[in-house]
């Protein structure tokens, strides 16, 4: 009979070792593997290699990847929102609007002079014809819109000055206030307003015809609410009575029109503030920020026809936009300079009172001095 026992010194296991004292009792179960086949002490037993091991964190890695993608998108969007205004800033024209002498002392709060000029900057000849603006005429042009925007400790105030207001223009005598711009540009206009109101102008902002049209169109139009049917061949306006959406060309014509009204310039300044209020309302809509095409278009349209004082910085211009939005959004006052008659002569008592409140930054005391048409409340 053959011996199937493994070769080697295993006598102790089978009980036939020559030295009984070294024999060990037979173990229950299968025999232990040869010592040469034992696994290294640091490895898990055979068949249990993954027992107790932590499963791979694939879901966590995926979550981290998505988080990184979202974070990158947010950072890219913030960079875009910041970069566009800086890009647009380079397109804004600068002008020296600060008179060299004879100016009022510094006053609390900040007062901006907002001018809507008949500048055709940014408009082609075809666009000028379409918008019924005519040509430049070779001169400086005139200012169809003149407003003072004051912001400070009280409510913001947007004060319209009718362009036909008769005032003293330094070096030119008594004339309509919009002639100051034609005679001497922004500097003379600032001097004229400061000399007749006593209010110091801190910053100058001018918007031409093209700027208004392109901003309105980039916003997809604005709402206007004429109280009567309006048709005027000089401005090109033709609108029905009631609230409606106006494109850039219609908004410009609406803000320029005066011949359709019995009160002419008095009603025109109210229409101008209505247009500004609608622009501010549309511009601060979340959709302006969320839609990149609209955001770029608004910035491009505004900057392409904007002229500011050379001492106006980005922060000051940003504060101007916020103050304008507040004044037109129900949190401030929008008024016409106090008038004594439809001939737009300033009221000798009420106008100086309003100017004093603005100079002292006490706009919360203006009260009934603020009316839409400038005339006393009846």
| Banded model confidence at residue 152, pLDDT cuts 50, 70, 90 | very high
What pLDDT does 277 receive? 87
Sign of the Cα torsion 198, 94, 129, 273 reads negative
What pLDDT does 56 receive? 57
Q: Are 161 and 337 in contact (CB under 8 A)?
A: yes
Q: Is the per-residue pLDDT at 226 higher than 90?
A: yes
Mean pLDDT of 207-235: 88
Residue 94: φ, ψ to 5°? -115, 150
**Contacts of range 101-105, beta carbons closer than 8 Å, 24 or more positions apart:** 102/170, 102/191, 102/195, 103/191, 103/194, 103/200, 104/194, 104/198, 104/199, 104/200, 104/359, 105/200
Q: Other C-beta atoms within 10 Å of 218: how many?
A: 22
Q: Are 93 and 306 in contact (CB under 8 A)?
A: yes
Q: Are 283 and 298 in contact (CB under 8 A)?
A: yes
Q: Is the per-residue pLDDT at 276 higher than 90?
A: no
Q: Residue 104 gets which letter from DSSP?
A: P
Q: Is the per-residue pLDDT at 120 higher than 60?
A: no
- Domains of the chain in sequence order: 93-369 (3.40.630.190)
Lowest average pLDDT, out of 15-29, 78-92, 307-321, 353-367, goes to 15-29
What pLDDT does 12 receive? 45
Q: Are 88 and 302 in contact (CB under 8 A)?
A: yes
Lowest average pLDDT, out of 169-173, 261-265, 291-295, goes to 261-265
The first and second tokens of residue 153, run together, are 């400790």
Q: Are 103 and 200 in contact (CB under 8 A)?
A: yes
Mean pLDDT of 351-366: 97
What pLDDT does 107 receive? 96
Q: Is the per-residue pLDDT at 371 higher than 70?
A: yes
Q: Is the per-residue pLDDT at 102 higher than 70?
A: yes
Q: Are 320 and 149 in contact (CB under 8 A)?
A: yes
Highest mean predicted confidence (pLDDT) among 35-39, 189-193, 218-222: 189-193
Calculate ∠ Cα 184-339-167, nearest 5°. 25
Transcribe 163-230 into DSSP letters.
TT-EEEETTTEEEETTHHHHHHHHHHHHHHHHHHH-PPP-EEEEE-HHHHHHHHHHTT-EEE--SS-E
Given the structure tokens 């139009």, which residue do they identify? 221
Q: Is the per-residue pLDDT at 77 higher than 60?
A: yes
Give pLDDT tens digits for 25-70.
555 556 665 555 555 555 555 555 555 555 555 566 566 688 888 8
């Amino acid at each position: 009979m053959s011996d199937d026992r493994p070769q080697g010194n295993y006598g102790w296991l089978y009980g036939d070792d020559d030295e009984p004292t070294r024999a060990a009792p037979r173990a229950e179960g299968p025999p232990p593997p040869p010592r040469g086949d034992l696994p290294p002490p640091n490895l898990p037993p055979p068949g249990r290699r993954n027992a107790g091991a932590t499963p791979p964190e694939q879901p966590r890695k995926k979550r981290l990847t998505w988080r990184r993608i979202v974070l990158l998108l947010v950072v890219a969007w913030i960079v875009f929102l910041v970069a566009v205004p800086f890009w647009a800033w380079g397109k804004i024209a600068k002008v020296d609007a600060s008179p060299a002498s004879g100016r009022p002392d510094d006053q609390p709060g900040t007062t901006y002079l907002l001018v809507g000029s008949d500048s055709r900057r940014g408009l082609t000849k075809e666009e000028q014809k379409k918008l019924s603006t005519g040509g430049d005429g070779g001169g400086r042009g005139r200012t169809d819109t003149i407003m003072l925007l004051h912001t400070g400790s009280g409510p913001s105030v947007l004060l319209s000055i009718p362009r036909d207001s008769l005032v003293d223009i330094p070096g030119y005598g008594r004339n309509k206030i919009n002639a100051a711009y034609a005679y001497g540009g922004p500097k003379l206009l600032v001097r004229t307003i400061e000399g007749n109101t006593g209010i110091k102008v801190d910053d100058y902002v001018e918007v031409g015809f093209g700027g208004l049209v392109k901003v309105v169109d980039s916003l997809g139009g604005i709402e206007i609410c004429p109280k009567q049917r309006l048709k005027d061949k000089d401005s090109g306006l033709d609108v029905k009575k009631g609230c409606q959406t106006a494109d850039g060309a219609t908004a410009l014509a609406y803000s320029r029109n005066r011949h359709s009204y019995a009160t002419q310039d008095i009603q025109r300044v109210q229409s101008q503030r209505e247009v500004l209020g609608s622009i501010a309302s549309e511009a601060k809509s979340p959709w302006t920020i969320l839609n990149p095409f609209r955001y770029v278009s608004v910035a491009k349209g505004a900057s392409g026809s904007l002229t500011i004082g050379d001492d106006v910085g980005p922060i000051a211009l940003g504060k101007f936009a916020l103050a304008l939005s507040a004044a037109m959004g129900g949190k401030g006052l929008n008024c016409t300079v106090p008038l004594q008659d439809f001939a737009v002569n300033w009221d000798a008592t009420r106008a100086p009172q309003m100017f004093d409140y603005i100079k002292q930054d006490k706009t919360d005391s203006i009260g009934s001095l603020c009316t839409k048409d400038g005339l006393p409340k009846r």
